Amino acid sequence: MIENDIDLQPHNTLAISAHSAFFARVETLEQLREALAFARDRSLPILPLGGGSNIVLTGDYPGLVIQVDLRGFSIRSDNSGHILEAAAGENWHRIVMATVQGELGGLENLALIPGKIGAAPIQNIGAYGVELCDRFVSLQAMEIASGELRNFAAKDCSFSYRDSVFKGKLRDKYIITQVNLCLPKKWQAHIDYPALSQYVAGQNWNVDRLTPSQVAQAVIDIRNSKLPLPDKIPNAGSFFKNPIVDTHSYLNLKAEHPDLVAFAAGDCWKLAAGWLIDRAGWRGVRRDAVGVHELQALVLVNPGRGAGAEVTRLAEDIAEDVHAKFGVSLEPEPRYYP
């Protein structure tokens, strides 16, 4: 079950070549426990891996990479709604499409997000006005130190924008094994996001009679129009979080840049990181093996299969330039390993 010296290039969507000292693909909870015991006995660090769409490998990994390939999902209905239970290794987009094909709404705005469902709660994935926490019920995770299973309710996860307890105080403490969501019985389309509402208007669809499939198709078409598929051009999706600033900072920026793209976020404002990077002049820039996508400045690409250090240097230079020009700090979404 445990393999030695494995090239991780096929296992990350940035197609970065880096070797793992040890590698295990687990399909059952017992295999996961055995892999964790192997690492504990040798005092090895552990890198849990799903679809590899939210990591940047900055060098060889000296420990055990565990590819979580737990499978299976089901949908049942109760008084609260339609309960979806999925093992962590299930592909996120396939789950979304299975729900909309069954005429169940609630996940359609999150269509075509790469990766596995087990990674979805860690950064509270979101798109087009919907976040995972809006549909979240609970999850099951295995403690790395003991191999014991624990259930987490929504209140235990400390969800916020692109964040959760698993990126904070429980970072590197658990491996998620199952995620449970609830889809509403009375579904209502969420198309307030400008790109979505414009797309729907252009289709001449009846807004009052939209279906989950129509909204999912709109999201897929919009994403395909500006985001490269990793199997065509290696990338990790949106590389930076949209920065959140207070109202005073927003108004100052808006006065200086009237076309600033931003969205209200409670008492604060969420700035479009892609707009900041684009306006700073980085869209389409190519630097040796890596670059910034020509259609979406928020996406860093690796068409030349460069090293992780090339990606991180580019990201750091972009962040420094954006801060110098706008006074706004950018934070990467993917996690760097090791």
Compute the distance between CA of residue 210 and CA of residue 235 in angstroms, rounded to an integer: 32
The residue among 334, 294, 278 whose CA lies nearest residue 123 is 334
**For every residue of 5-27, which 3-state class applies, written as one string?**
EEECHHHCCCCCCCEEEEEEEEC
Compute the distance between CA of residue 52 and CA of residue 13 in angstroms, rounded to an integer: 6
Residue 329 bears catalytic tag: no
Compute the distance between CA of residue 259 and CA of residue 252 in angstroms, rounded to an integer: 13
Distance of CA 240 to the CA centre of its chain: 11
Q: Which listed residue (33, 40, 150, 162) is catalytic?
A: 162
Distance of CA 21 to the CA centre of its chain: 26
Compute the distance between CA of residue 278 and CA of residue 256 in angstroms, rounded to an integer: 16
Residue 162 bears catalytic tag: yes
Q: Which listed residue (90, 223, 238, 283) is catalytic?
A: 238
Would you give the DSSP letter of residue 280?
Answer: T
Distance of CA 273 to the CA centre of its chain: 16
Residue 207 near residue 198 (C-beta atoms within 8 A) = no
Residue 31 near residue 1 (C-beta atoms within 8 A) = yes
∠ CA 14-18-24, rounded to 5°: 100
Compute the distance between CA of residue 229 and CA of residue 213 in angstroms, rounded to an integer: 21
How far is CA 180 from each of CA 96, 117, 148, 170, 177, rounded to the nearest angstrom?
13, 10, 19, 19, 10
Beta bridge partners of 116: 91
Task: Give the H or E element holding residue 232.
Answer: none
Catalytic residues: 162, 238, 333
